[in-house]
Structure 1
């Protein structure tokens, strides 16, 4: 058992991760989600799903409400593939410093469950994953189970990690196959190259395209497909060419995509970093450095508070905090980044953690706090980030000095 003699904060992070894991286990890793309101049996029985705008309104009502009425409208707690993938990644980080075979076995069982949740390969040709709820947005409507890029990318990352730790080729093969699915999302729209977020939809969202590029490239390298690899690099160049001179990315290309937020910026930077590592190139280093400079300057207050948007602080969001820890450790890695992570952790414990419930709040606004317990969006992300930090402190006590 690791005792964290030289890092009291890592010991604290591990203790909170223990509590989160215990809570998640108590519900067999099922939970509510900010976007699961269309799973309401009541809403479906009254015919609400036939009205597209009604679906969006119903979903947003539940997402924004600080009171959880899901039990009253018959929304069940369920497992979410992306949430389970994050739990798997967290368990594997813990295995690095706890060396606990029971937790590794649990990660393997959750990985096997993920394999059972992939889409019908007869319909989609390859393994892929979607959400366990119907998803209504301004740009599109996605029925339950239809695959999307981000969920597939995170599940693939978890399966690759499982395969590497256990030498189980079944996990690796499934992850490679999902890379082939992601490659099928390739879109060339009047010379603009990207991977679509959802099959059949034309929305260009940078984080989905970049994460897809990273996972397509990994599959391409593993199977020796140079065309796939080159396509992934071209897609990444497209998003890099659209990075602002100050290092920022807006969310996407549609009119309502003009915002800049912290966790999607972190996604972009982490995906580009993984893409470089996979393909053995340094082509994107300058873009990553500019992006990290912008990220550090615009998404943190001096006390370690993580801002949601580049130009305003509220709401405080546990997901934003978790991705900040991941980005600073996996993309940044400087001594100053390490110090910033310590401030972020201390501030998050003070402002977002509920010690009596042993979990994190969803969001804290200037006036209202939403304490609803969301597994995928909140607790799974926090568990992964805390486990990553504890493993980093145990196995990499001395952060490096250069950003790349």
Structure 2
């Protein structure tokens, strides 16, 4: 189905919908917020936690209202919206987007994890998070959420001259520095965990590097560069990255590859170096060749199209425009946008669905993701 909708009209529709719930929504991984699950007393069983979380992540029907999962704001989602509002302000220029971004940023400052425990500004998810490698209780900060919030606060602070936002972003960079593991020369995803995940390491390095530049700390910058070299050394000869170094991290997917490339470009800019240009070039070449079909369809994995995924589409457009930027990247980004409208956009609801597989479709509205 051909949908005639330009990017500005789409932005209007999406922002309007986010405002309708005051930016609260469901998340693919929020199943453990279920009141029913707590009443059943299954929380002491690690397998039950993972099974329950995966049930809600994979279900085509949104079971959350039935099991007592409430709509909530997701801190990382709010950071992404602030960055989007700043981009949108460049188009409309009437100040309204800035006012809204400030309101959301103030909420983020209130949602910081316990600073008496973590010493610095840091953020995590609003739900318990169970994975094969670790269990992360609600209130525990993580690298990715903190990185995106730090960048959103820094950008908003620079735009408005509000030093409180810049100071919080700087403080977040110091928290990320505390995640550095001397035993491996990389930044951990979660405090106290040893998993080496490349997108977390590279984004932490980028934000630590931006912090180092802001405060003039050469030791911080050198640590960020050293950690970046750890992930660059793990880049395959063809330009790809596995998700991480553990056995179950062997997959190569599109949006984490995009994260890696965007973070590398940000760190290189902060450090005023061209050291990682070859890694970025090889990574972009692999990305273009292995994650897109000629019609603009974005593949989830390098070796599989499915599922079609809105988050993958969004990161693809960012990566092509911010890291690539060549004429061919702009043309491909346009095809990606148009193809996403054909395959993932629901005009009656004026939003994108979560995922489409070969035989099934998940239309749930996950605000952070869709």
Q: TM-score, normalised by structure 2?
A: 0.98
The whole-number CA distance in structure 1 between the counterparts of 2:280 and 2:270 is 15
Q: Deviations over 1:314-367 (max 9, x none)?
A: 000000000000000000000000100110000000000000000000000000
Deviation string for 1:223-280 (max 9, x for gaps)?
1111111000000011001100000000000110000000000000000000011110
- Corresponding residue number in structure 2 for 1:137: 131
Query: Contact conserved, 2:120 with 2:175, CA < 8 A, in 1?
Result: yes
1:111 partnered with 2:105: yes
Distance 1:54 1:17 in 2: 39
1:121 aligns with 2:121: no
| 2:153 maps to 1:159 | yes
The equivalent of 1:50 in structure 2 is 44
* 1:1-400 correspondence to structure 2 within 5 Å: 12-189=6-183, 192-378=184-370
Q: Distance in 2 between matches of 1:96 and 1:200?
A: 40
Return structure 1 stretches of 4+ with deviation > 6 angstroms: none
User: Which residue does 1:398 correspond to in 2?
Assistant: none
**CA contact 2:355–2:362 (8 Å) conserved in 1:** yes
* Cα distance in structure 2, aligned partners of 1:46 and 1:263: 36
Gapped regions of structure 1 (runs ≥ 5): 1-8, 379-404
Q: Which runs of 5+ in 2 are unaligned?
A: none
RMSD, aligned CA: 1.1
TM-score by length of 1: 0.90
- In 1: Cα distance, 2:24 partner to 2:5 partner: 27
Name the CA distance, whole Å, in 1 between partners of 2:83 and 2:280. 23
Shift of 1:10: 11
